[in-house]
Structure 1
Amino acid sequence: MNIIKIEGISELYPEPIEGTSEWYYCKGSKDYFCDLYEAEEIVKSGKDFSGMTCHLIHYPEGTVYSPFKLQENRYIEGPVWDNGKLYFLSVDFNIQRIQIYSYLPNVEIIELIKELPLGIVKDCYNLMLKVSPITLTRDENEGILEIIWPNNREIQVGPTETLLFRDGDDLYLSEWHENPEYNENVIVRDLKTGKIKEKQPGYLCRLPDGVYWRI
């Protein structure tokens, strides 16, 4: 048995990052854990949010990287992996800005690649990054999928459809239904028109190095 003591984080549980076998992440705050939408509600209520940051852990040796400092009223989401880089969504309620960062962990280089006004979205519910290319999206759960950046689209989708990832102008979504047994479909929609190009039963599993299993 080989037990490695992870230094630099405490009482935080690492989670795998889809698309890479080398990196794990954990989010941390001074207070209790909350999601991005809950943090936004705290700020809107007139209170200060203690902040949420994100740490990275490299496999196999367990080195911890902390590209962001914990900052009041700023929320750092868990990263996505795309083409050898990690990408972070940051919402800074102090300046009312949405920020997207790229991070090269091996050389610890962080870069702000896009900044948007927070007012371009109704709220932060289901605001997240998807690949590939890196895309800022928002699923409102009212049958509308918002593509916010780098394109600006609203796409009508089914009530149980969820965006998995993007491949150029193809949007891959998962759809579930119970009739009476639970089943899933993989749906491919055109980014420009929103129309369904393909629909097949099953689901997709993302593996390292850009590989997906269709099951």
Structure 2
Amino acid sequence: MKINRMAVVQGLNLETVPGQLRYGCSMTDFEDFYDIAECVNEKAYLGNQIVFGDYETGAVYTPFEKERNIAYGGVEWIEGYFYFLKADFSKKTVTIMQYRPDWECKEYFSIEMAEVELYNLRIVGTPVHLISQSEEMRCYYPEQFSIKLSVRESVIEIVDNLIYCSSWEEEGIADGGITEDYKYYEKLIVRNRFGDVVSEEPGALTRLPNGQWWLS
């Protein structure tokens, strides 16, 4: 069996980011930003490092050295670039970084940590949106707005001012028990930026590595 090797082998699982096939990405350690903020006042967070690997050339890229109280996460491929989050718990800022392994890394947008909800903070959409979500989705960039979500909903994508959400559904439950008609499935709910439902239908929405979206 032929085994290809990266220029630097670190024992990291470099997973391809949906939307492109060339690069894999991993992090040396990852904790949710919310959890890091909970303990950072008691002890310094040791930091993590974000790593990209080129599956065509074997080259390995690390745009930043590991630093205390700095965490990375939320990698997405959008319109020809990687975008990821940089949370600086010393400066109390969250920054969206724009990155191309064969080109440059630069700050795309920065916001004070006190102005965002760190729980489920992520990058999503075309163009880039910065959101957090629980029972409410809050958008911080490119504009600020919020919409209510059901407890079963989560945002998958934002395109053309439409918010695509996945909702898990259960049928066939009676008196707290499962009947023979029990069914579990996902439903696609599309909302506008005011939270109104534009459409909904059964189906799980998935983005493939080649960028195509499929409903199954």
- Find out whether 1:203 has 2:204 as its counterpart: yes
Residue of structure 2 in register with 1:163 after alignment: 155
Deviations 1:95-127 (A, max 9, x none): 0001111012222x11111110000024x1101
- Find out whether 1:81 has 2:83 as its counterpart: no
CA contact (8 A) 1:55 1:67 kept: yes
- Post-superposition offset of 1:60: 3.2
Residue of structure 1 in register with 2:27 after alignment: 27
> In the alignment, residue 93 of structure 1 is paired with which amino acid?
F
Deviations 1:133-184 (A, max 9, x none): 11111012xx211111112111011111110011120111111012232100
In the alignment, the residues of structure 2 paired with residue 9 and residue 158 of structure 1 have an alpha-carbon distance, to the nearest angstrom, of 43
Measured on the aligned residues, the alpha-carbon RMSD in Å equals: 1.5
- Find out whether 1:115 has 2:124 as its counterpart: no
Matched positions, count = 206
In the alignment, the residues of structure 2 paired with residue 37 and residue 54 of structure 1 have an alpha-carbon distance, to the nearest angstrom, of 18
In the alignment, the residues of structure 2 paired with residue 150 and residue 92 of structure 1 have an alpha-carbon distance, to the nearest angstrom, of 21
**Structure 2 residue aligned with 1:182, among 184, 196, 200?**
184
- Post-superposition offset of 1:69: 1.3
Residue of structure 2 in register with 1:154 after alignment: 146
TM-score for both structures, normalised by structure 1: 0.90
Residue of structure 2 in register with 1:103 after alignment: 99
In terms of Rg, which structure is larger? Answer: 2
In the alignment, the residues of structure 2 paired with residue 94 and residue 212 of structure 1 have an alpha-carbon distance, to the nearest angstrom, of 39
TM-score for both structures, normalised by structure 2: 0.89
- Post-superposition offset of 1:204: 1.3
Structure 2 unmatched runs, 5+: 172-181
Structure 1 unmatched runs, 5+: none
Quick one: percent identity of the two aligned structures? 28
